[in-house]
Amino acid sequence: MYERNHVRNLVIAGLLLAIGLIIPYIFHSSGIAGTIFLPMHIPVLIGGFLLPPQFALLLGILTPLINSLITGMPNLFPIGIIMAFELGTYGLLASLLYIKLKLPTVIALILSMIGGRIMAGLVVFVLAIFFAIPLEPITYVIGAITTGIPGIVIQLVLIPILIHCIARYTTIYLDYD
């Protein structure tokens, strides 16, 4: 049973990683601003609701890094690094809050989004100290939130609906105890 779940988790993570590469590419190649609609965040957050914590964390870390290496967007340093920590936190927290603690989807989603933004601010703080990047943590987080309001609204509407449909209409079992 463990091997079956492991393979299932790898397949889901791989599919969501591919979606996390394709959707931002479509956005950027068609001129739609990724910083506004946050297309990379959606598959990572969905992964947090469908995958155990270690897979969700890895999905969140790899998605922006692979995007950066393949397409050059986001720039690997500093934004790709910041996003790797932010999205990794999204995936990890969503998984822990929803699957382990059994919180409702919307609550787990909101807390994950808050936690990811806090992590982004902490990473900006560390990078500013050690690499003298010209970013201020609080300004960065506030700017990311205000710029990304359309994407945040899309996430708050779309993700709970998708998770409900996936849980109801598929054979994916969201219990990893």
Range of the domain at 137: 38-169
Please count the other Cβ atoms lying within 10 Å of the Cβ belonging to residue 26: 11
Structural domain includes residue 165: yes
Q: Domain for residue 104, yes or no?
A: yes
Is the residue at 19 inside a domain?
no
How would you classify residue 90: left for phi > 0, otherwise alpha for psi between -120 and 50, otherwise beta? alpha
**Quick one: tokens of 166?**
């996936």
DSSP count for the chain of H helices, then E strands: 8, 0
Which tokens hold the place of 90? 């999204």
Q: Is residue 15 part of a domain?
A: no
Question: Does the pLDDT at position 4 exceed 80?
Answer: no
Residue 143 has pLDDT above 60, yes or no: yes
Q: Percentage of the chain surpassing pLDDT 90?
A: 86
Question: In this structure, is residue 65 part of a structural domain?
Answer: yes
pLDDT at 130: 97
Inside any domain, residue 10:
no
Residue 45: name the closest of 121, 141, 116 by CA: 116
Structural domains counted in the chain: 1
In a domain, 9, yes or no: no
The Cα-based distances of 92 to 20, 44, 58, 125 in angstroms read 16, 10, 8, 21
The reply to whether 30 falls in a domain is no
Each residue of 16-44: pLDDT tens digit?
Answer: 999 999 999 998 888 888 789 999 999 99
